[in-house]
Amino acid sequence: MKIGIPRSLYFYYYGDLWLRFFDNLNIETKVTPPTNQEILDLGNKLAQDEMCLSMKIYLGHIAYLKDCDYILIPRIDNFGSNNQTCTNFLSTYDIASNIFPNKILNYNIDLEKKQSEYKGFLKLKKDLNKSKKEIKKAYLKAKEQVAITKKQKIKENIKKLNKDGLKILLVSHPYNSYDEMIGKPIIESLEKLNVQVIYSDLFDEEKARIESKKLSKELYFKYNKENIGSIMLSLKKIDGVIFLSSFPCGPDSLVNELVIRKLNLPTLNLIVDDLSSDSGIQTRIESFVDILEAKNE
């Protein structure tokens, strides 16, 4: 049995967990390569033209996995009513099952209805042909390992806050910041300009969610809460904030606008779609860094 895992969207939240989980169960996996033009083209062909760029890329990744027995596509509804996700996270499974002939390995997280991640994983036992005990063991072990690496990553990210030089917080969903075609070129050009890039997803989630209340009291999108909470957690140590979102991201369109209005820091709002030119974005980044440097002097 080979399980295909698209390197997009959910992967950047759960990829580590999945790979270790299947490894613990001795199940073969295939992860798609980082997004390339071929994948983007595949996605563009399948997607509705109004879908967001990240969703188009996700569909492209799934299409790339056509030779796998199963493709792993979870559905993540909410982590309680005040921690909801974007509606795309609710519908990807159903959209994919209507487009692709492959079998889909699916679990559902819906804490409002008491469907936790653990329960979801246990339900995979039928498709994976494993006993409940095996799955439980593999899941708990993977969870432990993931917690350690995540802690390490957060530590490294926060360490950057105390380094010299310009420090810019990149506020973006991880599936955008780490994507080869969305965030990678932006991060590379920032690093070329000797800027320390701090990632918004590598902070303590719990703390970030509490801090986010200072910027938006009634926000109920979990991932956006963590994003803007990271601004409050690093506020005193950063020189500027870059908001990066994929066109036309629903939650970002409201939340980022609100935060930019409230924030007393230099900000740059980058919106990427599959037609945006690299050089245009490059120029905007360079001038933003120039402004920050001039301000510091």
Partner 1 sequence: MNKIIAFPQVGDYAYPITYLLKHIVRAETLYIPHISSETIELGSRYSPDFVCTPFKYTLGTFIECLELGANVLIQLGGGCRYGYYHELQKEILKNLNYHFTYINLVTEGKTDIKKIIKQFKKIDPKFSILKGLYYLFITKNMVKYMDEIDEYIRYNIGFEQEKNSFLNLKKEMLNSFSKTKGYFSLKRKYRYYKNKFKNIKLKNEPRFQVGIIGELYTVMEPSANYELELELASHGIAIKRYTNATYLLFEKKKKVKKYLKKAKDYIKYKMGADAADNIGRCIELCEEKFDGVIHIKSSFCTPEIGASLIIKKICQKYDMPLLEFSFDTNTSKVGMKTRCEAFVDMIEMRKENEKVLFRN
Crossing angle, helix 37-46 and helix 53-64, to 10 degrees?
Answer: 100
Q: Which is nearer to partner 1, 154 or 260 (CB)?
A: 260
Crossing angle, helix 184-192 and helix 278-296, to 10 degrees?
Answer: 40
Say how far apart CA 254 and CA 107 lie, in whole Å: 29
Using rule CB under 8 A, residue 45 touches partner 1: no
Contacts of 15 (CB under 8 A, 6+ apart): 5, 7, 31
Nearest to 54 by CA among 12, 14, 84, 110: 12
Q: Using CB under 8 A, which of 24, 29, 108, 276 touches partner 1?
A: 108
Q: Which is nearer to partner 1, 255 or 289 (CB)?
A: 255
Using rule CB under 8 A, residue 220 touches partner 1: yes
Strand pairing report for 108-110 and 28-31: unpaired
Name the minimum Å distance from CB 176 to partner 1.
15
Q: Reduced to 3 states, what is the DSSP secondary structure of residue 151?
A: helix
Using rule CB under 8 A, residue 216 touches partner 1: yes
Name the minimum Å distance from CB 4 to partner 1.
19
Using rule CB under 8 A, residue 107 touches partner 1: no
Using rule CB under 8 A, residue 98 touches partner 1: yes
Q: Where along the sequence are the contacts to partner 1 (CB under 8 A)?
A: 48, 50-52, 75, 77, 81-82, 84, 86-88, 90-91, 93-95, 97-99, 106, 108, 216-221, 247-251, 253-258, 261-262, 271
